Amino acid sequence: MGAGVMLTQKQSLTLDIIRSYLKTHEYAPTTQEIAEALGIQSRGVVHRYLKALETQGYIKLLSHQKRNIRLINPVHHSGQASNLEIPLLGAIAAGAPIEAIYQDRTLNLAALFLGPDRYALRIKGDSMIDEGILHDDIIICQKAHTAHAGQIVVALVDHQEATLKRIAFEPPNIIILKPSNAAYQAQRYTQDRIEIQGVFIGLLRSSSLSK
Higher-scoring residue by pLDDT: 81, 142: 142
The span from the CA of 33 to the CA of 66, in Å, is 11
Of 1-5, 24-28, 83-87, where does mean pLDDT reach its minimum?
1-5
pLDDT in tens, 85-122: 666 677 777 776 666 655 556 655 554 566 667 888 99
On the question of pLDDT at 77 being above 60, the answer is no
Give mean pLDDT, residues 4-13. Answer: 74
Give mean pLDDT, residues 159-185. Answer: 95
pLDDT in tens, 29-63: 999 999 999 989 888 999 999 998 888 788 889 88
Domains of the chain (ranges plus CATH)? Answer: 9-73 (1.10.10.10), 83-206 (2.10.109.10)
The whole-chain average pLDDT of the chain stands at: 81
Express as a percent the part of the chain with pLDDT over 70.
76
Cβ-based neighbours of 26, under 8 Å, separated by 6 or more? none
Phi, then psi, of 181 in degrees rounded to 5: -160, 120
Residue 193 — pLDDT band, cuts 50, 70, 90? Answer: very high
The span from the CA of 46 to the CA of 199, in Å, is 20
The pLDDT value recorded for residue 188 is: 97
Of 79-83, 115-119, 151-155, 175-179, where does mean pLDDT reach its minimum?
79-83
Catalytic residues, which ones?
A: 127, 165
